[in-house]
Structure 1
Amino acid sequence: MFSGVTGILNKGRKIRGTVVLMRKNVLDYNTIISIGGGNVRGVIDSGINLIGSTVDGLTAFLGRSVSLQLISATKSDSNGKGKVGKDTFLEGIIASLPTLGAGESAFNIHFEWDDDMGIPAAFYIKNYMQVEFYLKTLTLEDVPNHGTIHFVCNSWVYNSKLYKTPRIFFANKTYLPSETPSPLVKYREEELHNLRGDGTGERKEHERIYDYDVYNDLGNPDHGENFVRPVIGGSSTLPYPRRGRTGRYPTLKDPKSEKPATEVYVPRDENFGHLKSSDFLTYGIKSLSQCVLPAFESAFDLNFTPNEFDSFQDVRDLFEGGIKLPLDVISTISPLPVIKELFRTDGEQVLKFPEPHIIQVSKSAWMTDEEFAREMLAGVNPCMIRGLKEFPPKSNLDPTIYGDQTSKITADVMELDGCTIEEALASGRLFILDYHDTFMPYLRRINETSAKAYATRTILFLKENGTLKPVAIELSLPHPDGDNSGVVSQVILPANEGVESTIWLLAKAYVVVNDSCYHQLMSHWLNTHAVIEPFIIATHRQLSVLHPIHKLLTPHFRDTMNINALARQSLINADGIIEKTFLPSKYGVEMSSAVYKNWVFPDQALPNDLIKRNMAVKDSSSPYGLRLLIEDYPYAVDGLEIWETIKTWVQDYVSLYYATDDDIKIDSELQHWWKEVVEEGHGDLKDKPWWPKLQTLEELVEVCTIIIWTASALHAAVNFGQYPYGGFILNRPTLSRRLLPEQGTSQYEEMVKSPQKAYLRTITPKLQTLIDLSVIEILSRHASDEVYLGERENPHWTSDSKALQAFQKFANKLAEIEAKLAKKNNDPSLSHRFGPVQLPYTLLHPTSEEGLTFRGIPNSISI
């Protein structure tokens, strides 16, 4: 506690410090793109040296260009603010420091600190250079009457003239608002005021202002009618979570829409301040949309390669032999480092993708009914299957608008292994994957495009051996006489041979197309990326960096606003990648808004979700207080282990700072934070009665656990299996282009004679497949500097030893869980964990190596 103290304060004593910073990373996307087909590595290497190529050069460059001033936590000036020390400049660079990471440099600094200044707990920093740098840490050694003080900064610092007030950083001490030392109170309040801004003007690159806006930046009406998209959010008709405000000018044709920009603003510290070695996965989406995809489209426009697969082997050739593309296309994409990492290209004009996990052992097991059902429990979208409680399934669509939407599946057509429908329902053995209500309101419009799809319901039965089997699929279309006339439905039953087996395979494909689109736009984008962004904004606006809940939550927000901005720019925007390759096309985000109407924050807790979906029942005698109706449900089994561990960590941490419920109620920052989350960030749902009031310790623990679960484990479960499962497009098509052929038509005859060709002409074609694979491979990869659950970027994230001990307990428990889950995957009785494709369920294993690993829980939504 008093390490390094040598005695009483000495007049004029100097405090020695070490400053670690990272020079501006010139290896950004724009540098790479501008290189084209040149010597990329040579330009990158020279770019690193733009700011100081040697130790002496770097020291000389910085010279007297960066100054710091310490601020006291114990001694006040005449205004009641902590005393500010003298300007002190960086000194010589430290040649070697074992803790330095890639691209980081350390500098000595010595502060004059008289005995009447007390103990420092903050500092100002001024940058007099024109170029910004990334400030990592300041460490003070041998501070009199204290010892070592750590400042964990992790922030971009621009020229001081760009700031209205000097940049301030606080030590890693934790204070509730009411416990803040009086000399720091005004500094704490001023910093929050600076981060909130005034809600006006266009945001500039250097700013750190956090504010809210609606999704009015997805379209570009100035480019024509095809680029017009409705404003999402800000109304009961199209509600949505808020995004970060940029303040860009409106478009000419629609004052409610914001003009797209080449570079989207996010608060500067939400930009990536860490190196990702040479992979640059976070910029992969931009390089794909601006370079690779136009190259693909050009190749197909020139008819260099047919846009159809003719056999299943043609699809497998994407991984086994590659696809030939024109030399100019290959030369356009191959110099980009991110692309080199993802694809294999060679001098034979061949583009080759890595083999997806789903076909690494068996090439055809994906076609089985067992695998089709298993992926609802252990696939990339395992949170949609529900226990069926009534038969036939009913719709929640308004019958005055949509007529009778009740399912046409009858009990007599389903093979239930000798059970009656009443017995199967009573014993909890019937389940449903139901996309009927999500797609039906949009299906008429979708089918007016080149896409042709159904709204689907799939009924499944739990067999005696504990595995699921599909027993019926319902394919529904809007009634030709109008929406209020109900639907036209056909029921498809399992078949193993003849044309009926092809029809059954196609029916499963229509189900998976529904599932793929719901997964990408709702389970993945909406329920993790979009819903978390308001919590990020509110946290920075209302919770000081000194606040314990800020320290608890912010590691789980790393990179999310940036990746969301990239998504709005290249993925979910008008004519973006998702619209090009997924069924709903221009209606995708609008459909996710309809789903958000029914989003309930407390139900994002895994136990609540499982109970709501009738996949579990409350049972005080069972672990976690509930009993799974399908015992072998890998997502739920593994997820409950992770959920409970997160909740225990949150409980341990929160209890260090709040002793009673009254402590929660009087925490002004915490109450303002929650009020803003509800009324601003998720303002379109602010009147819902289910919002926690945040008046008790129990509520605070649950709220924080849900946030951390959503940003870490839930996102991992629905993200990092995308390429392992969906990289083989036959298994997870994203488009359907024609309906089931009718007898007497040429398409029906083709289906009889060539089932593979009929299947391939129905699902995603070759160009869209290449785009799909390119994107989901990036999304499924871990970057080289990923930070996983149970880890922190900096070991000195807090000075509270009890918090550090609780965190170590959390990390140790996660390690135990990982070993436990590995054993489960070797249990032959747990068929859903392995399946006919022989792919163990590892998506909720906490750790991972770099790359395409099909495992690992990052702290945050970082890709």
Structure 2
Amino acid sequence: MLEKTLQIICGKAQDEPKEKNKIEVTKIKGTIKLMKKNVLDLNDAGASFLDRVYELFGKRVSLQLISAVHGDPANGLKGELGKAAFLENWVSTLTSVSAKDATFNILFEWDESMGVPGAFIIKNFHHSQFYLKTVTLEDVPGHGQIHFICNSWVYPQHRYKYNRVFFANKTYLPCNTPEPLRLYREEELINLRGNGSGKLNEWDRVYDYAYYNDLGSPDKGKEYERPVLGGSEKFPYPRRGRTGRAPTKKDPNSESRLPLLNLDIYVPRDERFNNVKFSDFLAYAFKSIGQVLVSEISSLDTSPNEFNDFQAVLKLYEGGVKLPNGQTLNKLRERIPWEMLKEFLRNDGERPFKLPMPDVIREDKSAWRTDEEFGREMLAGVNPVIIRRLQEFPPASKLDPEEYGNQTSTIKREHIEKNMNGLPVDEALENNKLFILDHHDALMPYLQDINSTTTKTYASRTILLLQNNGTLKPLAIELSLPHPQGVKYGVTSQVFTPAEHRLEGSVWQLAKAYAAVNDSGYHQLISHWLNTHAVIEPFVIATNRQLSVLHPIYKLLHPHFRDTMHINALGRQTLINAGGVMEMTVFPTKFSMEMSSFIYKNWVFTDQALPTDLLKRGVAVPDSSQPHGLKLLIEDYPYADYPYAVDGLEIWSAIKSWVTEYCSFYYPVDDMVKSDPELQSWWTELRDVGHGDKKDEPWWPKMQTRDELVQTCNIIIWVASALHAAVNFGQYPYAGYLPNRPTISRRFMLEPGTPEYAELASNPERAFLKTITSQFQSLLGVALIEILSRHSSDEIYLGQRDTPEWTSEAQPREAFERFGRNLVEIEGRILDRNMDERWKNRVGPVKVPYTLLYPSTSDTSKVGGLTGKGIPNSVSI
């Protein structure tokens, strides 16, 4: 019975060819939407002129339809080709200078006996490339309208060693691909894989893998050397996209880098930002001149200004701050491109960096300092994915005691019970009322190296009490350093407990700042970069290499990969590279990426599922009565709420329902998953190559059942969309005010009897600011996260597609529409929860509602910027 079912499902998708008695030629009208390069790049006058001249001497863009029914025996049974047709009125068709679509007409001559066209070949004989969006055929005999969704750059024909082929929006598993299209399908995948060698150029469409061997610049000196991440047991890492650049002279294992300000890094052309988004990105990036400005200032002015008090920090948002001095400005003008410096100066030469007001201080300038807000942001801030329920006391370490000695916490019962309103520790543990923000084990192995730089910080543990009003009350912060005789002897620790007034209150504020520094660095390097950007890139590469555009799983996942490879390439070029902005502004400095490699050792793909993550962190228990299969323990208490988890579980469940419906349509039985060669090649390559350092882990789904396919796709979409939104778009609202989320500490906790400690007593704000991120680190860091926190004006959000004709199958389209309606209902419930004042963690003392997981599917205005809400489909910034 199963064999018969598979034969029916995977049988030929077309009727047997009929004998052609005579040729019946019909005219098929076509409409083509594209954008010309010379419109998108207004400075390319040469392309505009040459293309117009060439067009006058002949037809320069041709299309040939390919039959999905009849194969040509003389061409390996590939689909028969129709007569070439040419784009009409290239010169006379007006094109908008704002990079909008231009519409062209085309007329095909088509032999009706060849049946339905399933693809076409396009040849571009112009001087320059164009962006082909869609081709629509009208009134195809016996079939009506046919859509081709292209969304691809088509370069001049001499750039290719093969024909550019585009397929109609019909979806086929490999086994039921019409035979005349099968070889075209297979050849297209071969073209996208490339041959694994040589430098890749902008017109190449090659998706391939490389290690993270492009972060350092060893030819510049030892200071710029960085280890290769990936391909070794010591430094495992996900793979990135290959560029094929030459190796460095000093280290043949390291890839040479482009000049810092050269952002023309190879990624497959269709993975690059569109021109509108890239222009917006560069405009905001000018505000963050990056390491060039910082290094120039460091070399020209050895005493950069400090913030004297919190009011001085506020001037960033109320009127800007002055650069160090006029002499430095003049020197900078000599050594930095004027266009960049002009944007930085905001054209007045006095007060650069007048930044938008961060939400965390918009309503109340001091509420961020409260203990309640400190705890709330662990549940509803920019990094709500670390806090876990404390299940043993004192907190233990998982670090190997033979290598790291005794790392058990020194927090004692008397430290915390004095603030627990008479509740004993054991009873609090039993009733799930103790929580911990634990950055000890992740940082301790690298802390000695980190503190050998300008950073002076600790590994922290923060214990909190869940109160009856639903808020988290910090009870103690432990700050630990490696033992003076070496980390193998364990640690030395200090424990700080809450205080509100006088000197004790200032010391407590500093203790919270050290914990925040840990959380900020871990957030940026792990929660954000590693666990969304880096881990998703291999999925982008493997999907394009192994799944045809005709494949249903390609169509499901492709929207969730938009712009990811490009933003990651830009990150490697300017942010996470040796001496880059990240090393300049985050506490691990030159050890940042090495530390993220160490933490990747513990990465588990299946743990990225939100329900699994919440169970692992002990904040939920299994509950089969719930649609997502679990119950949040924090909800056992009146008005307690974990906004990230509550909203996230609704989004997770909506994605799962959509993915289940979609996959069930194409894979009605498990054997179809096992027997799908493209799917199996995709999954094998993803594990063995894309995440090759993890290939032998037992937790990978086997990809033998539909449930495993649903689980895998659910996780990929969740990570690329909702998880990234939760840890990215709250950066500026919360961390745009650096005292709330400092990223570096420059000195250790102040000791009694020292001048610094006396300053803490006499001028606590100045002492606080001299301890955390410096003024220019703040300027650079805040400018960076402003860029990263912005939605682009052309954002495509979860539940949206860039075209309604993304597939020709009615049932998947209807399921997707249900998904969109489901997300709209979730939006309404999020708004209702945020307006209910009983839920203390929804808004908090700073009066910032939790909207990071508000999907924005019902927002049709497409307004970008610092909205603080919305789930883009992909890791696109």
Give the TM interval when normalised to the shorter protein: over 0.9
Distance 1:50 1:234, change over 3 A: same
Name the SS for the 1:323 alignment partner: coil
Match in the other structure for 1:432: 436
- Percentage identity across paired residues of the two chains: 57
Q: Supply the AA of the counterpart residue of 1:316.
A: L
Match in the other structure for 2:368: 366
Distance 1:693 1:96, change over 3 A: same
Q: Distance in 1 between matches of 2:781 and 2:346?
A: 16
Match in the other structure for 2:623: 619
Select the residue among 476, 479, 487 that pairs with 2:491. 487
Q: Distance in 1 between matches of 2:553 and 2:461?
A: 43
1:847-858 to 2 correspondences below 5 Å:
847=856, 849-858=863-872
Q: Supply the AA of the counterpart residue of 2:709.
A: L
Q: Supply the AA of the counterpart residue of 1:15.
A: I
Select the residue among 66, 83, 104 that pairs with 1:86. 83
1:500-539 to 2 correspondences below 5 Å:
500-539=504-543
1:113-192 to 2 correspondences below 5 Å:
113-192=110-189
Q: Distance in 1 between matches of 2:351 and 2:409?
A: 51
Q: Distance in 1 between matches of 2:67 and 2:634?
A: 59
CA apart distance, 1:620? 2.1
Match in the other structure for 2:14: none
Per-residue Cα deviation, 1:258-300 (whole angstroms, up to 9, x for no partner): 1112432111211224533xx72433586466x4653465456
CA apart distance, 1:368? 0.4
CA contact (8 A) 2:47 2:128 kept: no
Select the residue among 310, 315, 318 that pairs with 2:316. 318
Select the residue among 18, 43, 46 that pairs with 1:47. 43
Q: Supply the AA of the counterpart residue of 1:107.
A: F
Q: Supply the AA of the counterpart residue of 1:463.
A: Q
Match in the other structure for 1:634: 643
Distance 1:646 1:339, change over 3 A: farther
CA contact (8 A) 1:51 1:58 kept: no
CA contact (8 A) 1:300 1:767 kept: no
Distance 1:438 1:610, change over 3 A: same
Match in the other structure for 2:760: 751
Name the SS for the 2:43 alignment partner: helix
Match in the other structure for 2:31: 18
CA apart distance, 1:99? 13
Q: Distance in 2 between matches of 1:304 and 1:491?
A: 35
Q: Supply the AA of the counterpart residue of 2:586.
A: F
Match in the other structure for 1:42: none
CA contact (8 A) 1:15 1:110 kept: yes
CA apart distance, 1:218? 0.4
CA apart distance, 1:790? 0.7
Select the residue among 451, 457, 460 that pairs with 1:453. 457
CA contact (8 A) 1:723 1:780 kept: yes
Q: Distance in 1 between matches of 2:284 and 2:681?
A: 36
Select the residue among 544, 549, 573 that pairs with 2:548. 544
Name the SS for the 1:805 alignment partner: helix
CA contact (8 A) 2:68 2:79 kept: yes
Q: Supply the AA of the counterpart residue of 2:798.
A: L
Q: Supply the AA of the counterpart residue of 2:852.
A: L
What's the RMSD between the two structures over aligned residues?
Answer: 2.6
CA apart distance, 1:576? 0.3
Q: Distance in 2 between matches of 1:514 and 1:670?
A: 40
1:300-315 to 2 correspondences below 5 Å:
302-303=300-301, 306-315=304-313
Per-residue Cα deviation, 1:534-585 (whole angstroms, up to 9, x for no partner): 1111101110000000000000000000100000000000000000111001
State yes or no: 1:860 paired with 2:874. Answer: yes
The gaps in structure 1 that reach 5 residues or longer are: 1-7, 29-45
Q: Distance in 2 between matches of 1:472 and 1:173?
A: 60
Name the SS for the 2:105 alignment partner: strand
State yes or no: 1:375 paired with 2:370. Answer: no
Name the SS for the 2:162 alignment partner: coil
Distance 1:252 1:50, change over 3 A: closer
CA apart distance, 1:397? 0.9
Select the residue among 382, 390, 393 that pairs with 1:391. 393
Q: Distance in 1 between matches of 2:280 and 2:56?
A: 31
State yes or no: 1:599 paired with 2:612. Answer: no
CA contact (8 A) 1:280 1:338 kept: no
Name the SS for the 1:239 alignment partner: coil
CA apart distance, 1:130? 2.6
Name the SS for the 2:835 alignment partner: coil
CA apart distance, 1:322? 1.2
Q: Supply the AA of the counterpart residue of 1:125.
A: I
CA contact (8 A) 2:738 2:773 kept: yes
Match in the other structure for 1:779: 788
State yes or no: 1:73 paired with 2:73. Answer: no
State yes or no: 1:740 paired with 2:740. Answer: no
Match in the other structure for 1:586: 590
Distance 1:344 1:792, change over 3 A: farther
Name the SS for the 2:760 alignment partner: helix
Q: Supply the AA of the counterpart residue of 2:391.
A: K
CA apart distance, 1:351? 3.5
CA apart distance, 1:621? 3.0
State yes or no: 1:703 paired with 2:712. Answer: yes
Name the SS for the 1:825 alignment partner: helix
CA contact (8 A) 1:286 1:570 kept: no
Q: Supply the AA of the counterpart residue of 1:116.
A: S
Q: Supply the AA of the counterpart residue of 1:320.
A: E
Distance 1:303 1:224, change over 3 A: closer
Select the residue among 197, 200, 216 that pairs with 2:197. 200
Q: Distance in 2 between matches of 1:721 and 1:425?
A: 31
State yes or no: 1:569 paired with 2:578. Answer: no
CA contact (8 A) 1:286 1:566 kept: no
CA apart distance, 1:100? 13
Q: Distance in 1 between matches of 2:35 and 2:265?
A: 23
CA contact (8 A) 2:586 2:743 kept: yes
Name the SS for the 2:67 alignment partner: strand
Per-residue Cα deviation, 1:134-159 (whole angstroms, up to 9, x for no partner): 11111111111111111111111111
CA apart distance, 1:50? 6.0
Q: Supply the AA of the counterpart residue of 1:736.
A: S
Q: Distance in 2 between matches of 1:795 and 1:333?
A: 47
CA contact (8 A) 1:232 1:590 kept: yes
CA contact (8 A) 2:469 2:840 kept: no
Q: Distance in 2 between matches of 1:365 and 1:725?
A: 12
Moved more, 817-826 or 98-107: 98-107
Q: Distance in 1 between matches of 2:291 and 2:183?
A: 51
CA contact (8 A) 1:214 1:232 kept: yes
